[in-house]
């Protein structure tokens, strides 16, 4: 079995010793260089945090807090150890907006390890369909491909027929993007009689159920997924074993009871909390809002790190739709701009495996003009398209939900 580096096959006890030998210095660095962590970690003996039990005593900083933190302290809520200048190459904006720094280290988000496990090698031509505009996904994938030695075509999002023109001319053998857009490209290529040469794919940003994986394999494309965020970089990745996701070598992953910082028993579903060793953005016990569970044993692929079962839903109502996070605060912003709407509920479904949003709005009266205006506001606020349904007052469930995820991945 070929690994990205020797660390992937280490004895688990050796890995644990290494991570927790490195941890105190990272905690002290976060406290001293990132003002928000200076406050949150004050009073703790950070030099003594050398075990999972000691780490579990530190506070959790949740992704859902970032909007408020960053509005209070621009640009990074006091969580970053760098600002403008030589250490910060780029700053990106994820929906919210939430701002993230990109440092100047090669493979800054550490995704090369996952891409290598997906079969990417030096000499591949990679068609990268993640966004290069404002959000970091395009850069995350491109820097990883460069670290392996791949050449990248920066396709970006949309413009299907133009992208297919480049695919027909260049015949890239590797695809990077969401699985749903790969499906769109392949279906359109079939319709237009365009030959594609994809044999491998690295997908992220949305669910990737076995049915989609098998459909791609039937077309000769071996596709693998990764779990990564713009804040943390790589968290875990799929391997040829196809049994869960192997945790990255440069993070500490905990599964905690949602709403708390308390680790749950192995195998129990809880919120994914990650501590990163990134010196520029030293996130400590960062609650992703995602649900998962640790898996017992080691992967049959030979990699010896912990495994998680993959994405199993959200611990809060923030939802990832077509690769973009949508926050309850964004639904509230839509209502603020349309006072004639008394309540709203964003419902997410995936008929035929494609994400679909519908904003259901209570109002005393409605019109096509209002419906179109609401659709435009949703697009402006979330950067995603949604259908709009106008409902009679008091017809939506009174359960406090602003975003309801009804997607199925069977």
User: Half-sphere exposure (CA, 13 Å, Cβ side) for 272?
Assistant: 29
The verdict on 281 and 363 lying in the same domain is no
The verdict on 362 and 224 lying in the same domain is no
Residue 410 lies in a domain: no
The verdict on 265 and 168 lying in the same domain is yes
Q: How far apart are CA 4 and CA 54, in angstroms?
A: 31
Residue 134 lies in a domain: yes
Residue 201 lies in a domain: yes
Q: Is residue 317 within 8 Å of residue 348, measured between CB atoms?
A: no
Residue 47 lies in a domain: yes
Token code pair at residue 92? 């990106």
Q: Which of 59, 64, 89, 93 is nearest to 76 (CA)?
A: 93
DSSP class of 74: T
The domain that holds 361 is classified in CATH as: 3.30.300.30
**Neighbouring residues of 252: CB distance < 8 A, sequence distance ≥ 6:** 19, 23, 52, 55, 274, 275
pLDDT value of residue 38? 97
The verdict on 296 and 334 lying in the same domain is no
Domain boundary among 312, 344, 375: 312
The verdict on 268 and 369 lying in the same domain is no
- DSSP calls for 152-216: EEE--SS-HHHHHHHHHHH--SEEEE-HHHHHHHHHHHHHHT------EEEE-SS---HHHHHHH
pLDDT value of residue 66? 93
The verdict on 394 and 346 lying in the same domain is yes
The verdict on 294 and 157 lying in the same domain is yes
pLDDT value of residue 323? 86
- Order of strands, sheet of 356-362, starting from the edge strand that comes earlier in the sequence: 387-391, 356-362, 343-349, 403-405
The verdict on 75 and 185 lying in the same domain is yes
State which residues form the domain around 308: 6-312
Domain boundary among 273, 295, 312: 312
pLDDT value of residue 322? 87
Question: How many domains, in total, are found in the chain?
Answer: 2
Q: Exposed e or buried b for every residue in 46-67, given b needs 16+ CB within 10 A? A: beebbeeebbbebebbbbbebb
The verdict on 129 and 252 lying in the same domain is yes
How are the residues of the chain apportioned to helix, strand and coil, as percentages rounded to the nearest 5? 30, 25, 45
Residue 298 lies in a domain: yes
Digit-coded pLDDT (tens) for 76-133:
999 999 999 999 999 999 988 999 999 999 999 999 999 999 999 999 999 999 999 9
**Neighbouring residues of 161: CB distance < 8 A, sequence distance ≥ 6:** 188, 192
CB atoms closer than 10 angstroms to residue 404: 17
Domain boundary among 259, 287, 312: 312
Residue 239 lies in a domain: yes
The verdict on 227 and 257 lying in the same domain is yes
**Neighbouring residues of 351: CB distance < 8 A, sequence distance ≥ 6:** none
The verdict on 14 and 105 lying in the same domain is yes
Q: Is residue 130 within 8 Å of residue 141, measured between CB atoms?
A: yes
pLDDT value of residue 235? 98
Residue 296 lies in a domain: yes
Q: How far apart are CA 401 and CA 410, in angstroms?
A: 24
The domain that holds 142 is classified in CATH as: 3.40.50.12780
pLDDT value of residue 229? 94
Q: How far apart are CA 3 and CA 277, in angstroms?
A: 21
User: Along the 410 residues of the chain, how does pLDDT read in single tens digits?
Assistant: 799 999 999 999 999 999 999 999 999 999 999 999 999 999 999 999 999 999 999 999 999 899 999 999 989 999 999 999 999 999 999 988 999 999 999 999 999 999 999 999 999 999 999 999 999 999 999 999 999 999 999 999 989 999 999 999 999 999 999 999 999 999 999 999 999 999 999 999 888 889 999 999 999 999 999 999 999 999 999 999 999 999 999 999 999 987 778 898 898 888 899 999 999 999 999 999 888 899 999 999 999 999 999 888 777 778 889 888 898 778 889 988 999 998 898 999 998 888 999 999 999 888 999 999 999 999 999 999 999 999 999 898 876 568 889 998 76
Token code pair at residue 58? 């530190």
The verdict on 121 and 261 lying in the same domain is yes
pTM of the prediction? 0.79
Residue 200 lies in a domain: yes
């Amino acid at each position: 079995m070929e690994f990205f580096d020797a660390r992937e096959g280490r004895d688990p006890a050796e890995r644990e010793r290494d991570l927790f030998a490195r941890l105190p210095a990272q905690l002290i660095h976060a406290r001293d260089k990132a003002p928000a962590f200076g406050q949150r970690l004050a009073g703790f003996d950070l030099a003594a945090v050398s075990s999972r039990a000691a780490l579990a005593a530190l506070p959790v900083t949740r992704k859902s807090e970032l909007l408020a933190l960053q509005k209070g302290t621009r640009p990074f809520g006091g969580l970053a150890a760098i600002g403008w200048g030589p250490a910060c190459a780029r700053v990106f904006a994820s929906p919210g907006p939430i701002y993230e720094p990109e440092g100047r280290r090669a493979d800054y988000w550490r995704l090369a390890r996952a891409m290598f496990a997906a079969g990417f090698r030096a000499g591949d031509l990679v068609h990268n369909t993640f966004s290069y505009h404002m959000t970091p996904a395009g850069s995350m994938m491109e820097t990883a491909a460069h670290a392996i030695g791949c050449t990248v075509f920066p396709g970006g999002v949309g413009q299907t027929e133009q992208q297919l023109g480049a695919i027909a001319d260049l015949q890239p053998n590797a695809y990077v993007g969401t699985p749903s857009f790969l499906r769109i490209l392949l279906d359109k290529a079939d319709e237009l009689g365009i030959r594609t040469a994809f044999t491998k794919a690295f997908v992220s940003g949305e669910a990737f159920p076995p049915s989609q994986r098998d459909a791609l394999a039937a077309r000769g494309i071996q596709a693998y997924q990764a779990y990564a965020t713009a804040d943390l970089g790589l968290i875990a990745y799929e391997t040829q074993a196809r049994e869960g996701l192997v945790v990255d070598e440069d993070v500490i992953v905990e599964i905690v009871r949602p709403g708390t910082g308390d680790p749950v028993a192995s195998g129990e579903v809880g919120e994914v909390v990650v501590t990163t060793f990134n010196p520029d953005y030293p996130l400590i016990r960062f609650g992703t809002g995602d649900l998962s569970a640790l898996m017992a044993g080691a992967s049959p692929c030979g990699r010896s790190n912990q495994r998680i079962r993959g994405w199993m839903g959200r611990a809060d109502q923030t939802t990832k739709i077509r690769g973009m996070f949508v926050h309850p605060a964004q639904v509230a912003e839509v209502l603020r701009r349309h006072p004639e709407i008394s309540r709203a509920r964003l419902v997410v479904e995936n008929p035929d495996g494609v994400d679909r949003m519908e904003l259901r709005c209570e109002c005393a009266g409605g019109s096509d003009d209002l419906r179109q205006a609401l659709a435009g506001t949703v697009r402006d606020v979330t950067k995603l398209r949604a259908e709009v349904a106008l409902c009679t007052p008091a017809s939506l469930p009174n359960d406090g939900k602003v975003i309801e995820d009804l997607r199925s991945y069977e």
